[in-house]
């Protein structure tokens, strides 16, 4: 019984996992961000798998339009950049990687210079047979893009309460 109590006490006293720290840093990085400029990056293999840049941008814009995080059309007036990476890794079966990451200028403590830094990121992978690329695959990938964007919006909302 003492051993169980000691084990529970040690678990409770242990510092949080590095993953928890990374999540916390991602949320904090969004503090003060009010707008994004979209930078899509869709490779040829993703296009062969039925994914089109305009569809990806529309899915991201749809989710962002439901939040108060503004989409800027001018990179110079934007607080941050939202990189939308959709890359296919093979043509049969289609495997499509979706990554969204937000970068902004931050002040580096060591030399007080402004540098670009990733402040938030999310991603996932969709896989489906090539023959399903147009009827089902596009919907699968766009659904993943929407889910990934929603997770970023949740982080942003958490940081800007």
Mean pLDDT of each 10-residue bin along the chain, 161 residues long: 37 35 52 94 90 95 95 93 92 86 86 86 87 76 94 92 84
Residue 4 in any domain: the answer is no
Residue 100: CATH number of its domain: 3.40.50
Structure tokens belonging to residue 147: 């889910």
Residue 18 belongs to a domain: no
Whether 38 and 71 have beta carbons less than 8 Å apart is answered as yes
Tell whether 66 is covered by a domain: yes
Cis status, amide bond into 93, omega within 30 of 0? yes
Q: How many Å apart are CA 110 and CA 112, to the nearest integer? A: 6
Tell me the residue range of the domain where 103 lies: 27-159
Count up the domains in the chain and report the number: 1
**Does residue 5 lie in a domain region?**
no
Position 7 in a domain: no
Instruction: Please tell me the predicted confidence (pLDDT) of residue 11.
Output: 33
Is 73 domain-assigned? yes
Which pTM value belongs to this model? 0.78
pLDDT at position 85 is: 96
């Amino acid at each position: 019984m003492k051993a169980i109590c000691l084990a529970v006490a040690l678990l409770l006293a242990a510092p949080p996992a590095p993953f928890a720290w990374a999540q916390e840093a991602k949320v904090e990085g969004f503090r003060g961000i009010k707008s994004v400029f979209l930078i899509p990056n869709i490779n040829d293999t993703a296009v062969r798998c039925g994914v089109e840049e305009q569809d990806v941008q529309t899915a991201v814009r749809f989710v962002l339009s439901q939040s108060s995080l503004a989409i800027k059309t001018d990179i110079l007036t934007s607080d941050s950049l939202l990189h939308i990476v959709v890359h296919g890794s093979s043509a049969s079966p289609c495997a499509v990687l979706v990554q969204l990451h937000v970068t902004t200028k931050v002040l580096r403590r060591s030399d007080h210079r402004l540098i670009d830094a990733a402040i938030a990121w999310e991603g996932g992978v969709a896989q489906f047979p090539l023959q399903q690329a147009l009827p089902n695959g596009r919907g699968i990938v766009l659904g993943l893009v929407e889910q990934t964007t929603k997770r970023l919006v949740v982080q942003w909302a958490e940081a800007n309460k």
